[in-house]
Amino acid sequence: MLYMILGTVLILFALGGAGLVMGQWSDRETVEGWIYAGSAAACGLNAALMVGFLVSGASGMEAAVPVGLPWLSARFRLDGLAAIFLLIVGTGGVLSALYGFAHRRHTQDPAWVAFFFPLFLGGMTLVPLADDAFSFLLSWELMSLASWFMVLASHQHHETRRAAIVYLVMAAIGTVAMMLAFGTLAGAAGGYSFEAMRGADISPWAGAMVVLFVLVGAGSKAGVVPLHAWLPLAHPAAPTHVSALMSGVMTKVALYAIIRVLFDLLPAVGWGWGLAMLAVGGLTAVLGVLYAVLQRDIKTVLAYSTVENIGVILTAIGLAVAFKASGYAALAGLSLVAGLFHAINHSLYKSLLFLGAGAVVSATGYRDLERLGGVIHRMPVTAATFLIGSAAIAALPPLNGFASEWLLFQALLNGPRLPEWALKLAVPVVGALLALATALASACFVRVFGITFLGRPRSPEAMMAKEAERGILVVLVVLAGACVILGVAPMMVLSIVSPVVETLMGAPPLADGGRGLLWMEPLAERDSSYSGLILLVAVMGMASLMFLVRRQASGRLSRSHAWDCGCPDPNPLTQYTASSFSQPIRRVFATTLFRAREDVEMPEPGDVSPARFTVSLYDPVWQWFYRPVTRVIGWVADKSDAAQLMSIREYLAIMFAALILLLTVMMVIR
């Protein structure tokens, strides 16, 4: 099976290479069609293989491929943890490829997007399979560079070029941090295979440095605050199906790196790191959704909401670290199961939302919420599926987002069992932050859906919008159906994730209630249980009751304009706007978390021209973190210009001093 997956990776690489060659003399639409169809087939095969692997409970598989450096072979390994993330990559890849296939006739993206698309998928597939540092880092860089080229699709715009530069810098920082993490794990002996790292005896200081490097390296790729700065710039700049992959899949591959190192390669991680991850995760969740609720660009809203969900998953990982360090293996497993389940769910509904938003943008030409409105009448299927995705990401029952967050809260409610008082106090605070983030997410997506699909069209393009192609609608319906199914029957996923987590933790994470796929009992029946089917029946019953009451109360259906107070206004610009919707939240947090500025330009007395109201938002991370860093780097660079005029003896002296310093640091760490 492992060689079959590696074979599909070779097919993806061949598709990218053949596309670069064939695109020179063949019809572009035909070539792109073969690329996307082949990518969908390869990813679909991988997803099917991973389902079979997880259901069968097969043991790990290893392979050594004679490529790379002359004295080294590329080592690959397939185990349960890798299979979970390969399933995420395969599922997201096949649906994004099908979207690209259906949308290729209407896209204005440059040809290289289709050529780098399979390379991006191949890199993301190889990262979970890599079983040594060299293979991991090469796959990691391929994933980063292929996505960077696709971010540059609309390179003629200044915002896109800026997003690409920021993304490239953050990717480079992340790769350097991952190199330092693996180098510290390998130690002076240079055992760069993961098997050697598992058996290495490293000091507590070295272990702490590994955790720090991994959180910086993989956290920057995932979008953890304050390393999230590239994400709301790059994700909206990329083509829609690439944005869905970057937000729904690539960020999960980054989280895989954190889980692999913390729970597999390192022998132990102290509870203090769990506390730190809880704090960062809660802060990331709240700030991410606050950034999202204030944006006007629909793809930027979705990008910032990814930051929020990454914070939720990081909180689950941190809670698992804390429970494991304190000796509660079952609760640690429950926390990690909740995090993995939420990662799978987020890959589904975030792909759905990005692809649905892409269909709206393609039909109207606008990403600005203030230029949309009334689209539900012209794109009913897109609107219905987008509504399901919005409800799922807002954690409304009985959808999958609610199921995974409910599971995480069951673990948080057991926080008082932790012996350390810092954790006893931190867990309730983090739980409150996640509850606040969930409430703000509901407000955020009520705003997005209402302003985009409801009301009256705010532009002629929105008024003339047309439903997306049939192939795109099929992808949206499949994703929406998956959100419903995993919410109603969460044990479909948990039954294959739990054995993997049990292998990592050494204890079963879920109680065996014996009620099949429709009933979830994380601890014991007397403590808590969840049935999505009961909730679904209750929701459908309430909807049916409201419909019957409505029909019985009036013999005929009356239609009228909403909110016009009997005086219909022909100007759609007088509707409630996205900025108006978010104004109360902006006013509350403007002076504490944001540098928001409201400017009102009033006409002179007697002037009948309209007043102008503008809002300027500033991400405090840029103001307080990145700008001081860039200034320091600029100062150092200016002062370093003198090094270009040094003699060869001075260069050699600096190199010798650097060598001595590095040797001293390594001796201290070891």
Quick check: bond before 66 cis, omega within 30?
no
Q: For position 527, what pLDDT does the model report?
A: 65
In the prediction, which pLDDT does 384 show? 93
Are 575 and 373 in contact by the 8 Å Cβ rule? The answer is yes
Are residues 235 and 303 in contact, defined by beta-carbon separation less than 8 angstroms? yes
Segment 46-100, tens digit of pLDDT: 999 999 999 887 777 888 887 766 667 788 999 999 999 999 999 999 999 999 8
Q: Cβ(298)–Cβ(373) under 8 Å?
A: no
User: What pLDDT shows up at residue 276?
Assistant: 92
Q: Does 434 or 615 have the greater pLDDT score?
A: 434
**Beta strand 597-601 pairing with 74-78:** unpaired
Mean pLDDT confidence for 615-624: 73
* Per-residue pLDDT tens digits for 439-485: 999 999 999 999 999 888 888 888 888 888 888 999 999 999 999 99
Please identify which residue in the block is written with the tokens 């003896």: 649
CA 549/CA 270 separation, integer angstroms? 58
Q: Residue 347: what pLDDT?
A: 94
Q: When comparing pLDDT for 405 and 156, which is higher?
A: 405
Residue from 110, 58, 131, 43 nearest 347 by CA: 43
CA dist 268 and 184 (Å) reads 15
Q: What is the pLDDT, as a whole number, of residue 560?
A: 65
Q: What is the dihedral of CA 546, 552, 553, 558, to 10 degrees?
A: 90
pTM: 0.88
Rounded (5°) CA angle 445-449-455: 140
- Is 60 exceeded by the pLDDT of residue 330? yes
Q: For 585-594, write each residue's pLDDT tens digit.
A: 877 776 666 6
Amino acid at 415: G
**pLDDT tens profile 265-287:** 888 888 889 999 999 999 999 98
Alpha-carbon distance of 384 to 102, in angstroms, equals 20
pLDDT tens per residue, range 198-231: 877 788 888 889 999 999 999 999 989 888 888 8
- For the record, the structure tokens of 313 come out as 């998953």
Least reliable range by pLDDT among 237-241, 375-379, 522-526: 522-526
Higher local confidence (pLDDT), 422 or 612: 422
